[in-house]
Amino acid sequence: MNGETAESHAVIQAAGGLVWRSAAEGPQVLLVHRPRYDDWSLPKGKMEAGESWAETALREVEEETGHAVALADFAGSFSYLVRGQVKVVLFWHMTLRQERPFVPNEEVDAVQWLSPATAAAQLAYAQERELLAASVSRSPVS
């Protein structure tokens, strides 16, 4: 078996959200800054044992942003390779149930509410920019 295991072929499953709020200037979306990668991205993270995709998305967004959120429509998905392993990430549109003060943590040291156009320019990854662009017209806020 040339050193390969079933685990080396396992798909990494992750989920996250496009968190939206209304502002005087129009809809805003929430980005997180991850110091480990020094990047701006959509909040997301890996699935834990026994979780559904939606449960993962809600937990990860709350852990990374501190905000209590509610699921809206499914926003889309994409996949990419991480050290030779496929990672699949599913995203939902989300709305705020409770906006809380942000407390920096090990994974995320800053958050920003931005217009979709500004957020697209700030996002580090093309797949996230494309997901955001395709999602603006379906934002659950106006």
Domains of the chain, CATH where assigned? 7-138 (3.90.79.10)
Report the candidate in 96, 91, 72 with the shortest Cα–Cα distance to residue 16: 91
Q: What's the pTM?
A: 0.91
Could you give the CA distance from residue 108 to residue 117 in angstroms, rounded to a whole number? 22
Q: Residue 42's pLDDT is what?
A: 98
Q: What is the pLDDT of residue 37?
A: 95
List average pLDDT for each run of 10 residues in the chain, which is 142 residues long.
57 98 96 97 97 98 97 97 95 96 95 98 97 92 82
